[in-house]
Amino acid sequence: MPPEWDAYEWEAIGRERASDTTKLIRVVGAVAPIKTRGKYKGHPNWDKLEKDTIRTAYFTPDEHEAWLVQWEQKTGKCAECMGSGERSVGWSAAGGTRYKPCEKCGATGKTANEAVEKVFS
Ligand SMILES: [Zn+2]
């Protein structure tokens, strides 16, 4: 996948009951142009994603966790919101992407791992 490839949707599958452990994480992503103006400047424009770059990947929870940690170390961004400070909470062709502030990083978009390093170094 090219570096511009980003995930826009993920879902834990294999959980029929709340007590079930997650068996697999389904991640869907694509390459999308970055918005250059407007309220969501800097966000991928999922309304104009390149349809032939849509890929679905499956991870085990351990693999997914490892991938997110690696991604945070590589980018210094919060994996929850992909560094935007806002988490996309849904996407549809009709309504576009909906966002709400990311709770994990306090809407800063920075990884918590980096914050911890700063405190102790
Ligand atoms: Zn975040």
pLDDT values of the chain reduced to their tens digit, one per residue, 121 residues: 777 888 888 787 876 776 777 778 888 999 999 889 988 888 888 889 999 999 998 888 888 888 888 888 888 988 888 888 887 676 677 777 778 898 888 999 898 654 444 444 4
Domain residue spans in the chain?
Answer: 5-120
What is the CA(43)–ligand 1 centre distance, in A? 13
Q: Measure 24 CA to ligand 1 centroid, in angstroms.
A: 22
List, in sequence order, the alpha helices (H) in the chain. Answer: 61-75, 112-120
pTM: 0.55
Q: How far is the CA of 18 from the centre of ligand 1 (A)?
A: 25
